[in-house]
Amino acid sequence: MKERTAGNEFFKGIGPIRFEGIKSDNPLAFRFYNPTAKVGKKTMEQHLRFAVAYWHSFCGTGGDPFGLPTKNFPWLTSSDPIHRAKDKMDAAFEFMTKIGAPFYCFHDYDIVDEAITLKESEKRLETMVAYAKQKQKESGVKLLWGTANLFSNPRYMNGAATNPDFHVVCHAGTQVKNAIDATIALGGINYVFWGGREGYLSLLNTDMKREQEHMARFLHMARDYGRKQGFNGTFLIEPKPMEPSKHQYDFDSATVISFLREYDLMDDFKLNLEVNHATLAHHTFQHELQVAADAGVLGSMDANRGDYQNGWDTDQFPNNVYELTEAMLVVLQSGGFTAGGINFDAKTRRNSSDLADIFYAHIGGIDAFARALVAAHTILEDGEYTKLRKQRYGTFDSGKGKEFERNKLSLTDLRDLAHTTGEPAQISGRQEYFENILSKFV
Ligand code: XUL
Ligand code: CO
């Protein structure tokens, strides 16, 4: 077998991406993201905690249900699975270092292809985890989260943890155990569960209650195992309403939170919220973030955008600064990211077939978030937005309104008060005024 050449440069002609400021017309530079610039008490890098998604940028080659792959990645050419995996990892770390991302995220079988036997798959994973450890050490790039791919292999066609066949659940458990081990070995800060196949296609053949109980049992086992192995990080659930399942159990923030509460998992689990998944659930992204923040479980973010003209997960890189500002307002007001970050769960389009396109995509997304961060911070500093929103609830800050909040009134008290005060004066919600505050700073 041909020896692998280590240290290949895959993105030739592209150096480290630097901040050059708004006047720069260099397409391979940041115009807004200056990692060391302070926004309030933290630097941009500390606020945003960007992560590169291994699967989209180094594994996905552009195949779709209607056509073959379009991306001829030079790191995928070797016929030997370990050589190929190491080349891919060299490319990934070269990219992450050049773009200046502090973090990355992966699924188990992103870093190496699954083998025919479980034993061989585990051996491959072990080899690649050791290689990743070395690469992380050399580059300083850290693991934001690890996860297991419990949706691609045909064995999961009826679900993973919620599969009606216990034997499949055992396979899912094995993968999760190994992925947790890998995450711990690599110092991962979070561990994610996205249950793409945890749901159903038809209720006619599905015992939903039993499947959800199995899912809870499975998550308890994973939590117990991780904690026993010394994992102190956060377990994250990533909601999505559908695709590939017709109905996914982790539908949206509210559904997942009530599941976590019902099965006593709130102490260990938080949410990883993805923009396009919110869109598919007919929510705004900021709604999903706020629901999680209000329950104290806003963990991390998968950043992308959908498409206004269709109804599936297009995973496009973010570029809508106005919408991102609304999202960053929620994040900042909830105290910002601690363990979590912003993972670019986004892919370049199928016809973006140059290697440089991966750089343009990330530069665009990172700059858009930097602008949104600054805008949201400025809006909060300016204070008019928060003041006006607080004022809307002013009648609860004193007198009878305050007594209501403090549980001092009964329903008959409300009746008596309504009779004394008469018809309330109309008060405008001033939505357009609020929108204009945002426009002023975006
Ligand atoms: C799928 C999706 C996944 C998860 C990780 O829509 O978002 O990539 O982020 O499994
Ligand atoms: Co995602």
User: Ligand 2 center to residue 189 CA distance, Å?
Assistant: 16
Q: Which of 110, 250, 268, 313 is catalytic?
A: 110
Position 418 pLDDT exceeds 70 = yes
pLDDT at 4: 82
Position 6 pLDDT exceeds 90 = no
Backbone phi and psi for residue 289, each to the nearest 5 degrees, phi listed first: -65, -45
Per-chain residues with Cβ under 5 A from ion ligand 2: 274, 302, 345
Contact 219, 267 (CB under 8 A): no
The predicted model gives 49-56 an average pLDDT of 98
Specify the ligand 1 atom closest to the Cα of 56: 8
Rounded Cα gap, residues 27 and 360, in angstroms: 7
User: Ligand 2 center to residue 274 CA distance, Å?
Assistant: 6
Specify the ligand 1 atom closest to the Cα of 240: 6
Does 110 sit in the ligand 1 pocket, CB within 6 Å?
no
Does 274 sit in the ligand 1 pocket, CB within 6 Å?
yes
Take atom 4 of ligand 1 and give the residue whose Cα is closest.
194
For the chain, percent of residues with pLDDT exceeding 90: 98
The question of whether 250 is a catalytic residue gets the answer: no
Rounded Cα gap, residues 61 and 313, in angstroms: 17
Rounded Cα gap, residues 365 and 370, in angstroms: 9
Amino acid at 269: F
Cβ–Cβ contacts within 10 Å for residue 396, how many?
Answer: 14
Contact 306, 276 (CB under 8 A): yes
Peptide bond into 244 cis (omega under 30): yes
The question of whether 362 is a catalytic residue gets the answer: no
Rounded Cα gap, residues 58 and 132, in angstroms: 15
Q: Which of 47, 56, 107, 277 is catalytic?
A: 107
The predicted model gives 46-67 an average pLDDT of 97
Contact 57, 358 (CB under 8 A): yes
* SS3 call for 96: helix
Residue 7: which pLDDT band, with cuts at 50, 70 and 90? Answer: confident
- Burial (CB < 10 A; 0-12, 13-18, 19+), residue 72, is exposed
Encode pLDDT of 229-285 as tens digits. Answer: 999 999 999 999 999 999 999 999 999 999 999 999 999 999 999 999 999 999 999
Does 181 sit in the ligand 1 pocket, CB within 6 Å?
no
Question: Which is it for the CA torsion 357, 103, 186, 4, positive or negative?
Answer: positive
Fold of domain 18-382: TIM Barrel (3.20.20)
For the chain, the domains span 18-382, 385-441
Which residue of 104, 108, 147, 300 sits with most ligand 1 atoms within 8 Å of its CB, as the best mutation to test the pocket? 147
